[in-house]
């Protein structure tokens, strides 16, 4: 079976996808071009990663022979590579080659790494997956060009592209025309005749220079307009797509990584707006210059092309090093940004745990890796820049010397020598720009691969004829099971219960029992793997989830506010709400007095995702948001923990009088004694169901939870 010389590198897009990337790399090695997205669809990976046996099963379905082996490091020397191996950090990687001196390992997180044999032994876990194609293996053909869809979408605005192209052609044409004018002026001056012509030549050169300056200004203005147009199509469409992705997408990706992808859109935009049109025009520009040089002297043209070839040969040699260094820098910068983002968000926990030094040490290690990648890239770029500068300086000078020699022999005028020198300088500079553009294009392609993880991801499922039902607050779970992936075990197992309109239902259980997962299923953030969920007798799979969620209230433990005023955070959307309704909601949630004491009152700006407010204030603002929307069903995840018992009863009474169905995720048992129904979760199942009195009489799980909490409360009292 044919295979490539090297294993193509596939970068992981989320922390648990190293296994998927190894699958993709092995397939690409055998010229089967499955995308990461396509493999992800067939072999879904959750938060816990992928087991070796599921990878083996996938390869067999693709028509490949597989063997899982436990081998010592020295036994790998006799094994045919590449193989998938498990490292000591429970990460999968590809062993591309190995000998007694070093091993080439391709880590989906860090790229191709050359390790000493001793270093490899310390990181090797012992398990490998050997994969070879058999007669049933059918390679998948290469997909379309990565830039194809993007350029097709942006290319719909042909007017602005055409305008920028025409202005650029005129600008470059003027730049090309100037050396020819200077040639004629020098030759006329040396002949000491036609002084009037020389005078007109000078005037014309001055006019041409001014025109060039004006056209350069117009061109830059046109490029800015093009950038704005690309912005509308690229950044706006990407962010729109991001908002349409399912909640599970965000659970498996770090915030810092997603922010880095969004910021990289600016690099892609600049490449499209500035370099693509320039590249095409400069290519034509270079052809015109070399034609002119050949017209003046074949020798000069051939020497110029020779310098160009040497320059190109050097760039082709150094290009893989530049690309690898760029890739490493992107990976390390992403890791650093992710860590910095997480550190800022988790500062309260860091401070309260006294872990500043430990976090700094972790950050410092990541920072050093980032700086090492930066240093390596700049070292390679320094070699590249220095060599290119030598070519750009020495090349035209050599052309000048050769031209002067031709001038002495009478084969070329002095004016033509100067013109050829100028145009050769431009030609070499243009060729360097084209090669730089090529490298920029490859770098931007790496960024685009990351962005495509957003644009190619499947949107949240929407039924064809989605129903916009107005719910009354009744909810039913019918034999519902849920697993995070199609390869993992159920975390919710065959759950059934009914909640009637206006009831107060509590869900209790130990940590990890499935309470939060159950809540996300209610909200339609997760889809059941079996069974169904009904609102007012209508399946959640048939309704418009966005319309449904607007009728639900959610007050989570993890509270996030927006960088807007308190008023906007309570209302949340753009609709007009009577100020009295807002004040009443704030009053019910016991935040009204504190808002009124603020200088800007309801126009007080919330910053840093609510970090300028106390946790209790944030919780009560979100509670006010739930009240102002008048939800038919509200989910309260320890939502009244910031209230005293008297005010807590006031809030509870409001929802009761309003006829809202209340689902309380309880951590304090005292808040749910009056619940109409208590669901006790244990290992993803409903272990008990009943009122407080009924469950206390049973003296099982609920009784134990209640008693243990009561004792703790007595101890802390």
pLDDT given for residue 540 in this prediction: 92
Single out the residue of 456, 439, 450, 452 nearest to residue 334, CA to CA.
Answer: 450
| 482 within domain boundaries | no
Single out the residue of 389, 681, 325, 657 nearest to residue 504, CA to CA.
Answer: 657
Q: Who contacts 678 (Cβ-Cβ below 8 Å, separation ≥6)?
A: 505, 506, 507, 508, 672, 688, 689, 690, 691, 692, 695, 702
Which of 133, 165, 196 is a domain's end point? 133
| 393 within domain boundaries | yes
Q: Are residues 416 and 507 in the same domain?
A: no
Single out the residue of 327, 295, 321 nearest to residue 380, CA to CA.
Answer: 321
Q: Are residues 430 and 571 in the same domain?
A: no
| 472 within domain boundaries | no
Q: Are residues 125 and 247 in the same domain?
A: no
Give 78-116 pLDDT, tens digit per residue: 888 789 998 877 789 999 888 888 888 898 887 888 888
Query: Is the pLDDT reported for residue 713 higher than 50?
Result: no
> Does residue 82 have a cis bond before it (omega within 30 degrees)?
yes
Q: Are residues 255 and 401 in the same domain?
A: yes
Lowest mean pLDDT among 15-19, 272-276, 303-307, 445-449: 272-276
Q: Are residues 270 and 394 in the same domain?
A: yes
Q: Are residues 305 and 435 in the same domain?
A: yes
Residue with tokens 């007694």: 100
Of the two residues 268 and 573, the one the predictor is more confident about is 268
Residue with tokens 């090093």: 321
Q: Are residues 427 and 508 in the same domain?
A: no
Beta-bridge partners for 129? 68, 84
Beta-bridge partners for 663? 505, 635
Cβ proximity of 311 and 432 under 8 Å: yes
Query: Is the pLDDT reported for residue 236 higher than 50?
Result: yes
Cβ proximity of 40 and 67 under 8 Å: no
Give 258-297 pLDDT, tens digit per residue: 887 888 888 888 777 777 777 777 778 788 888 888 888 8
| 312 within domain boundaries | yes
| Number of domains observed in the structure of the chain | 3
**Token code pair at residue 346:** 């988790």
Query: Is the pLDDT reported for residue 574 higher than 90?
Result: no
For residue 441, give the H/E element and its range.
helix 414-455
| 609 within domain boundaries | yes
The span from the CA of 425 to the CA of 436, in Å, is: 16
The span from the CA of 707 to the CA of 508, in Å, is: 14
Q: Are residues 240 and 124 in the same domain?
A: no
Angle between helices 579-588 and 615-628 in degrees, nearest 10: 130
Which of 86, 103, 133 is a domain's end point? 133
Residue with tokens 């983002």: 341
Q: Are residues 409 and 558 in the same domain?
A: no
Cβ proximity of 659 and 501 under 8 Å: yes
For strand 475-482 and strand 83-87, is the pairing parallel, antiparallel, or unpaired?
Answer: unpaired
Beta-bridge partners for 637? 665
| 112 within domain boundaries | yes
Q: What is the mean pLDDT of residues 499-518?
A: 88
Q: What percent of the chain has pLDDT over 70?
A: 92
Cβ proximity of 639 and 631 under 8 Å: no
DSSP codes of every residue in 81-124: SPEEEEETTS-EEEEEEE-SSEEEEEETTTEEEEEEHHHHHHHE
Secondary structure tally for the chain: helices H, strands E? 23, 16
Domain boundaries, position 92: 18-133
pLDDT band of 714, cuts 50, 70, 90: very low
The span from the CA of 386 to the CA of 434, in Å, is: 17
Lowest mean pLDDT among 201-210, 384-393, 542-551: 201-210
Q: Are residues 333 and 401 in the same domain?
A: yes
pLDDT given for residue 420 in this prediction: 86
Cβ proximity of 525 and 246 under 8 Å: yes
Which of 94, 114, 133 is a domain's end point? 133
| 4 within domain boundaries | no
Q: What percent of the chain has pLDDT over 90?
A: 10
pLDDT band of 316, cuts 50, 70, 90: confident
Give 321-366 pLDDT, tens digit per residue: 887 888 788 778 878 887 887 888 778 778 877 888 888 998 999 8
The span from the CA of 701 to the CA of 156, in Å, is: 63
Q: What is the mean pLDDT of residues 372-378?
A: 90
pLDDT given for residue 438 in this prediction: 78
What is the C-alpha R_g of the chain? 34
pLDDT band of 157, cuts 50, 70, 90: low
Instruction: Read off the CATH number of the domain in which 389 is found.
Output: 1.20.1560.10
**Token code pair at residue 524:** 């339609």
Single out the residue of 76, 82, 73, 78 nearest to residue 23, CA to CA.
Answer: 82
Instruction: Read off the CATH number of the domain in which 29 is found.
Output: 3.90.70.10
Lowest mean pLDDT among 149-163, 395-409, 451-465, 578-592: 149-163
Residue with tokens 């009053």: 587
Single out the residue of 651, 659, 663, 650 nearest to residue 622, CA to CA.
Answer: 651
**Token code pair at residue 545:** 């989830």
Q: Are residues 445 and 551 in the same domain?
A: no
The span from the CA of 521 to the CA of 531, in Å, is: 11
pLDDT given for residue 48 in this prediction: 66
pLDDT given for residue 712 in this prediction: 47
| 480 within domain boundaries | no
Instruction: Read off the CATH number of the domain in which 665 is found.
Output: 3.40.50.300
CA of residue 287 relative to chain centroid, distance = 40
Q: Are residues 387 and 253 in the same domain?
A: yes
pLDDT band of 717, cuts 50, 70, 90: very low
DSSP codes of every residue in 225-273: HHHHHHHHHHHHHHHHHHHTS-HHHHHTS-HHHHHHHHHHHHHHHHIII
CA 701 to each of CA 638, 677, 678: distance values in angstroms, whole numbers, following the listed order: 20, 15, 12
Give 627-681 pLDDT, tens digit per residue: 887 888 998 886 555 555 666 777 778 888 888 899 988 777 777 888 899 999 9
Lowest mean pLDDT among 190-204, 242-256, 384-398, 658-672: 190-204
Cβ proximity of 23 and 55 under 8 Å: yes
pTM of the model: 0.71
Of the two residues 203 and 713, the one the predictor is more confident about is 203
pLDDT given for residue 498 in this prediction: 93
Q: Who contacts 707 (Cβ-Cβ below 8 Å, separation ≥6)?
A: none
**Token code pair at residue 45:** 């990976």
């Amino acid at each position: 079976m044919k295979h490539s010389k090297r294993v193509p590198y596939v970068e992981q897009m989320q922390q648990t996808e190293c296994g998927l990337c190894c699958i993709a790399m092995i397939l690409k090695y055998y010229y089967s071009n499955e995308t990461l997205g396509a493999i992800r669809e067939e072999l879904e990976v959750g938060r816990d990663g992928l087991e070796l046996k599921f990878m083996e099963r996938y390869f067999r379905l693709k028509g490949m022979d597989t063997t899982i082996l436990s081998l010592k490091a020295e036994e790998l020397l006799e094994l045919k590579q590449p193989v998938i191996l498990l490292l000591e950090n429970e990460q999968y990687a590809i062993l591309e080659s190995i000998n007694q001196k070093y091993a080439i390992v391709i880590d989906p997180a860090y790229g191709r790494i050359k390790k000493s044999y001793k270093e490899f032994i310390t990181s090797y876990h012992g398990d490998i997956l050997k994969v070879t194609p058999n007669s049933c293996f059918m390679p998948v053909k290469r997909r379309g060009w990565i830039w194809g869809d993007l350029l097709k979408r942006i290319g719909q605005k042909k007017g602005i592209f055409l305008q920028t192209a025409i202005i650029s052609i005129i600008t470059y044409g003027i730049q090309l025309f100037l050396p020819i004018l200077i040639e004629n002026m020098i030759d006329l001056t040396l002949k000491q005749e036609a002084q009037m012509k020389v005078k007109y030549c000078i005037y014309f050169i001055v006019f041409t220079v001014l025109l060039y300056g004006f056209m350069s200004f117009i061109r830059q203005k046109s490029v800015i307009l093009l950038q704005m147009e690309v912005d509308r199509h690229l950044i706006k469409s990407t962010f729109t797509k991001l908002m349409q992705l399912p909640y599970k997408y965000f659970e498996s990706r770090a915030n810092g990584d997603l922010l880095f992808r969004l910021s990289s859109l600016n690099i892609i935009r600049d490449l499209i707006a500035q370099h693509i049109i320039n590249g095409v025009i400069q290519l034509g520009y270079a052809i015109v210059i070399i034609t002119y040089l050949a017209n003046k002297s074949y020798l000069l043209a051939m020497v110029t092309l020779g310098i160009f070839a040497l320059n190109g040969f050097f760039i082709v040699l150094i290009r893989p090093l530049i690309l690898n260094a760029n890739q490493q820098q992107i990976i390390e910068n992403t890791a650093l940004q992710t860590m910095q983002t997480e550190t800022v968000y988790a500062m309260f926990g860091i401070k309260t745990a006294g872990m500043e030094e430990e976090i700094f040490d972790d950050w410092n290690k990541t920072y050093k890796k980032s700086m090492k990648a930066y240093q390596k890239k700049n070292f390679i770029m320094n070699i590249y820049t220095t060599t290119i500068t030598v070519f750009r300086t020495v090349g035209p000078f050599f052309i000048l010397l050769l031209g002067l020699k031709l001038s002495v022999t009478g084969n070329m005028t002095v004016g033509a020598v100067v013109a050829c020198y100028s145009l050769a300088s431009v030609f070499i500079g243009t060729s360097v720009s084209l090669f730089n553009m090529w490298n920029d294009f490859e770098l931007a392609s790496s960024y685009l691969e990351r962005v495509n993880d957003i644009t190619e991801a499947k949107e949240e499922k929407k039924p064809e004829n989605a129903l916009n039902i107005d719910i009354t607050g009744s909810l039913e779970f019918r034999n519902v099971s849920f697993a995070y992936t199609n390869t993992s075990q159920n975390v919710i197992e065959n759950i059934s219960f009914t909640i009637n309109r206006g009831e107060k239902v509590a869900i209790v259980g130990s940590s990890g029992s499935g309470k939060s997962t159950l809540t996300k299923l209610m909200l339609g953030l997760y889809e059941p793997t079996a069974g169904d969920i009904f609102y007012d007798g209508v399946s959640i799979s048939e309704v418009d989830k966005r319309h449904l969620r607007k009728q639900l209230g959610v007050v989570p433990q993890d509270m996030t506010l927006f960088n807007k005023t308190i008023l906007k955070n309570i209302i949340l959307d753009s609709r007009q709400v009577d100020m009295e309704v807002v004040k009443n909601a704030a009053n019910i949630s016991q935040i009204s007095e504190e808002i009124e004491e603020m200088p800007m009152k309801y126009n007080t700006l919330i910053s840093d995702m609510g970090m300028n407010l106390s946790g209790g204030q944030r919780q009560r603002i979100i509670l006010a948001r739930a009240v102002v929307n008048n939800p038919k069903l509200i989910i309260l995840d320890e939502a009244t923990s910031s209230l005293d018992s008297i005010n807590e009863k006031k809030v509870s009474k409001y929802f009761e009088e309003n006829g809202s169905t209340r689902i309380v995720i309880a951590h304090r048992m005292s808040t749910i004694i009056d619940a109409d129904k208590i669901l006790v979760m244990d290992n993803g199942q409903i272990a008990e169901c009943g009122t407080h009195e009924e469950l206390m009489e049973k003296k099982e799980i609920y009784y134990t939870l209640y008693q243990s909490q009561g004792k703790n409360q007595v101890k802390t009292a």
